[in-house]
């Protein structure tokens, strides 16, 4: 178990780069199983979530060659689905993506139930309902998801039961393995979905649209192609650094921000009084994603009159919403946050009280946060959810004195080498093994 030892209250300065996206990476690792050729992924984040996925793929018989931030993925002739590493699979929520990724090459298999963040019950019915259009039968058992794709067939249309990122990815991967045109309705076009679309196109799958409307996919019965793909940057990590600069009242330049997935968040912040500049515009290494260098300037904030809530893209990203809780600590007035999509995540925001925050929990989805607040140092155990854990770390870095955040595996699932990266911009923290 690791802990962060934080000496907070320090002004940060300098530049920090946004790394590649966790959520895009896990989708591409799953999608690599569609390809019987060699897949080379570049700009892969060095995080625990990726480590668990590598362990899962290797247990299926996939050969992984790792060199720095590059992964070469070489599939076997036959995937060993009966040997899947259950322990590693159960540590990641995104393992549900394997259900569709394996369906084109395997007739019967069982996938362990997903783990990852503890945010309340999560139904997989949208995935089941999407895949049943293709003739796939899925039984939920105490051990996982029992899949039978013996009657796999094409379908001309899939209406998603809910407009979600992961179910869009599931349906995209399934449609890509059927040599007919499939229309997906209610698809999202969030950053990880777009990366998956770019990747599937390199495999030769024909895709029209980017989501937010209809996606038209013409798949292939068999795909065997040696390809390279570079993963885009992570807007959620960008928001982590934006909130960190705001809460610590620091002048910070955040490089390689995927601006298309931050525009509404920045508009909300602008209306709260936050000052920022866009210094440079350019493309990501994959020539697809629009990036900017963002200068955050210390500002006085005022709480918005209306609620702040997440929505499918192009709304405020669901995973960016918790960072508004830390930002609200510096805003004059009451900020109203509505986290409707998760049953428990808003409850974790009450942990900010340990740092001196004034948080009122209205119900499992809604909180009031009153500011501005003078934060105080504390010792606490990290919440078992990635984004709430990250915002607690942000608050600790702003709280004067020594804080200890214990059991930070949740943070390590999604953020790479935070200790050294934050030290480079003036933060005082260290990782301690327990």
Model confidence at 112, in pLDDT bands (50, 70, 90)?
confident
Q: What is the pLDDT, as a whole number, of residue 116? A: 43
Q: What is the pLDDT, as a whole number, of residue 1? A: 85
Tell me, which fold does domain 2-19+233-433 have in CATH? Answer: UDP-n-acetylglucosamine1-carboxyvinyl-transferase; Chain (3.65.10)
> How big is the chain by its Cα radius of gyration, in Å?
21
Q: What is the pLDDT, as a whole number, of residue 384? A: 87
Q: What is the pLDDT, as a whole number, of residue 117? A: 41
Peptide bond into 372 cis (omega under 30): yes
Which tens digits make up the pLDDT trace of 380-403? 999 888 899 999 999 999 999 999
CA 11 from centroid of its chain's CA atoms: 28
Percent of the chain with pLDDT strictly greater than 70: 97
Scan for tokens 């995927």, then name that residue.
258
Mean pLDDT, all residues of the chain:
93
Per-residue pLDDT at 122 exceeds 60: no
* For residues 173-199, average pLDDT: 95
Which tens digits make up the pLDDT trace of 237-270? 999 999 999 999 999 999 999 999 999 999 999 9
Q: What is the pLDDT, as a whole number, of residue 115? A: 54
Model confidence at 214, in pLDDT bands (50, 70, 90)?
confident
* For residues 185-190, average pLDDT: 94
Model confidence at 342, in pLDDT bands (50, 70, 90)?
confident
Q: What is the pLDDT, as a whole number, of residue 217? A: 96
Domain ranges of the chain: 2-19+233-433, 22-230
Q: For residue 74, give Cα distances in angstroms to 24, 85, 162, 390.
A: 19, 18, 34, 34
- Domains 2-19+233-433 and 22-230 equal at CATH topology level: yes
Q: What is the pLDDT, as a whole number, of residue 105? A: 86
Model confidence at 94, in pLDDT bands (50, 70, 90)?
confident
Q: What is d(CA 212, CA 189) in angstroms, rounded to the nearest whole number?
A: 6
Kindly report the length of the chain: 434
Q: What is the pLDDT, as a whole number, of residue 212? A: 62
Q: What is the pLDDT, as a whole number, of residue 119? A: 36
Per-residue pLDDT at 153 exceeds 90: yes
Per-residue pLDDT at 361 exceeds 90: yes
Model confidence at 120, in pLDDT bands (50, 70, 90)?
very low
Q: What is the pLDDT, as a whole number, of residue 124? A: 82
CATH 3.65.10.10 assigned to 22-230: yes
């Amino acid at each position: 178990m690791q802990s962060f030892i934080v000496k907070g209250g320090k002004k940060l300065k300098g530049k920090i780069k946004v790394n590649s996206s966790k959520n895009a990476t896990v989708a591409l690792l799953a999608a690599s199983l569609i390809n019987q050729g060699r897949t080379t992924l570049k700009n892969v984040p060095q995080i625990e979530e990726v480590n668990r996925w590598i362990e899962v793929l290797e247990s299926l018989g996939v050969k992984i060659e790792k060199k720095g931030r590059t992964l070469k993925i070489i599939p076997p002739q036959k995937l060993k689905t009966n040997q899947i590493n259950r322990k590693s699979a159960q540590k990641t929520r995104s393992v549900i993506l394997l259900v569709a990724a394996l369906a084109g090459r395997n007739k019967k298999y069982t996938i362990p139930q997903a783990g990852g963040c503890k945010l309340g019950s999560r139904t997989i019915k949208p995935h089941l309902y999407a895949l049943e259009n293709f003739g796939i039968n899925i039984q939920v058992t105490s051990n996982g998801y029992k899949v039978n794709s013996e009657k796999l067939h094409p379908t001309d249309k899939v209406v998603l039961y809910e407009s979600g990122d992961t179910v869009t990815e599931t349906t995209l991967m399934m449609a890509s393995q059927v040599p007919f045109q499939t229309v997906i309705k209610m698809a999202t076009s969030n950053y990880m979905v777009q990366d998956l679309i770019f990747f599937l196109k390199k495999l030769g799958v024909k895709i029209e649209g980017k989501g937010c409307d209809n996606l038209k996919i013409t798949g292939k019965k068999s795909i065997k192609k040696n390809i390279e793909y570079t993963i885009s940057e992570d807007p959620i990590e960008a928001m982590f650094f934006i909130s960190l600069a705001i809460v610590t009242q620091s002048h910070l330049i955040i490089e390689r921000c995927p601006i298309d997935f931050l525009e509404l968040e920045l508009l909300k912040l602008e209306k709260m009084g936050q000052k920022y500049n866009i210094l440079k515009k350019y493309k990501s290494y994959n020539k697809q994603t629009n990036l900017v260098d963002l200068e955050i300037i210390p500002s006085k904030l005022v709480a918005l009159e209306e609620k702040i809530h997440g929505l499918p893209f192009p709304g405020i990203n669901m995973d960016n919403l918790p960072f508004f809780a830390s930002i609200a600590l510096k805003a004059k007035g009451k900020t109203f946050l509505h986290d409707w999509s998760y049953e428990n995540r808003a409850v974790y925001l009450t942990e900010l009280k340990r740092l001196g925050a004034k948080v009122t929990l209205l119900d499992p989805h809604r909180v009031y946060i009153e500011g501005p607040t003078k934060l105080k140092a504390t010792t606490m155990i990290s919440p078992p959810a990635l984004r709430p854990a990250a915002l607690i770390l942000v608050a600790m870095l702003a709280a004067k004195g020594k804080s200890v955040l214990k059991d930070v595996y949740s943070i390590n699932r999604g953020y790479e080498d935070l200790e050294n990266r934050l030290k480079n911009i003036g933060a005082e923290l260290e990782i301690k093994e327990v």
